[in-house]
Chains A and B, each alone.
Chain A
Amino acid sequence: MYFVHQVHRLRRRDASGFEASVRDDLMGAIATEPGARLIWYAWTIDAAVSHLEAITMVAVEDPAALTRLSERTRSGDLASIGARLDDLRVDVQTRIAKPLRYNPLNPSLADVPTTAADHATVGYMHDFVPPCIGQARGYEDAMSNIYMAMTDTELLDVVLWAGLEPVAGPVPEQMNISRIQRTDAVVKLITDEFPRDIKKLGSWMFDALKVRDHWTTRLARCASWSPLY
């Protein structure tokens, strides 16, 4: 499966129009062909590193479905919707990603809603993580063997929802999207200083520095109609 992941930079005056176009036009149009679905729509929140941004994700079943989506967006029925969305945004950054071994997000595309239905919104930490040079697989191994073995409590109830690797995009990196189960958890992360003991040899915080020591976290919240959340 592929995930077409896009970060759309917007002016506030265009925010509701952009969201409406994705919800009312793009979501249904993509679903008229099998093998591709809009699965996620989120906003970076006020105080995120970059604001205002919409984040969209389209799941695509296989190379044949990606070929169809490509043809439709370049010269088919999705071209005009794409042009309209482009008129509404300042910039867009697109990645085509594949699942990492530890990725929990594996939707059955036939079951993904294709019309908008209201639900509660959910907060996320959305991370782009460029592994240390030469450590792309090392980072994946560490995430699979150590991070994913940690309990929700150890992870402060910020629980991985998707672990993806862009195979086309601006820089070599990996992408983790985590659901914030309790707002208190993220408040604690922001307000509390980590004890220095937690950064010693043998701790995840320290040992993971061998495979990555940089990331960009966007605090985000899904729209109330996002197909998956």
Chain B
Amino acid sequence: MIIIQEIHQVIGVQELPFEDSYRDTYLPAVATDPDTRLLWFGWAPHGGGQGYEAATITAARDLGAWDRLVERGRYGDLAAWATSIEAMRYSMQVHVCEVENVVPVDFADLNSVPGTAGDHAPSVLRLDSLRSADPRGVLAALANAAASSASGMLAPAGCWASILGGLDRAPVHILYRIGSPDDLRDALGAADPLHQWSGSLTVAAGLDDEPMETRLLRTARWSPLV
């Protein structure tokens, strides 16, 4: 399974049109191909990251399905939409990744992922990105940690890494769900500034020595997965 992880730096006044355009056009259009689905749409919340940064995470069954989606956006039925969305952001960073067998995912059956907008309470996710010259070693350590570590406030929802493996220095990504506002309150209010959030596979795997990038994300009310 391929993950297309896109981080968008959105023009501030375009925040709402950007989200609406993803909900009304991209979400259903992607679902017309049985091999592609938008999984998550989230914003970096005010107070917890980059201002007006959106993250979209789309799944494709394989690289053939990914290529079909790319071409729809370049010259096909999504080309006009792609041009309009391009005008709503300053920049976009795209990672094309393979889902790794580190933790189970709940989108293995793409047909079970909604292709139309629902309405549910937003949830909070955390996306950690680890850079390593040895992504295979990192993934093996994360898989061992996932198999043996206790659960915590961070519940792993998926792990993906660059399709180019060791030829690339792109990060390994781990997406977590955050259990509850109470967990979040306890973690943010911890008196020890170096307190580490429970459930982190990175910590359990002993990979927390190197500096790391993290994104807190709040999902949109219509995000297919929460």
Contacts and interface: CB of A to CB of B under 8 A. Distances in A.
A211 B188 CA distance: 30
Interface string A85-109: 0000010000000000000000000
Interface residues of B, number: 45
Interface stretch (B11-19, B24-32, B95-103): B11-19
Contacts of A9: 211
Given A42-B193, A190-B218, A196 B16 contact: yes
Contacts of A199: 15-16
Interface in A1-41: 9-13, 15
Given A215-B50, A217-B48, A193 B221 contact: yes
Contact of B212 (A15, A51, A186): A51
B206 to A, nearest CB: 10
Interface stretch (B70-78, B108-116, B179-187): B179-187
Main secondary structure of the interface of B (DSSP, over half): loop
A147 to B, nearest CB: 14
Interface string B192-226: 11111100100000001111111110101100000
B210 A11 contact: yes
B4 interface: no
B49 interface: yes
A206 B9 CA distance: 17
Given A47-B126, A47-B187, A193-B218, A213 B47 contact: no
A36 B213 CA distance: 33
Interface stretch (A71-79, A134-142, A161-169, A218-226): A218-226
A28 to B, nearest CB: 21
B136 interface: no
B211 A10 contact: yes
A6 to B, nearest CB: 15
A118 to B, nearest CB: 11
Interface in A48-74: 48-53
Contact of B122 (A121, A193, A212): A193
A217 B185 contact: no
Contacts of B107: none
Contact of A221 (B11, B193, B213, B218): B193
Given A11-B211, A45-B193, A213 B185 contact: no
Given A13-B209, A47-B214, A219-B48, 9 more contacts: A49-B49, A187-B185, A190-B45, A190-B184, A191-B218, A214-B51, A217-B46, A217-B50, A220-B193
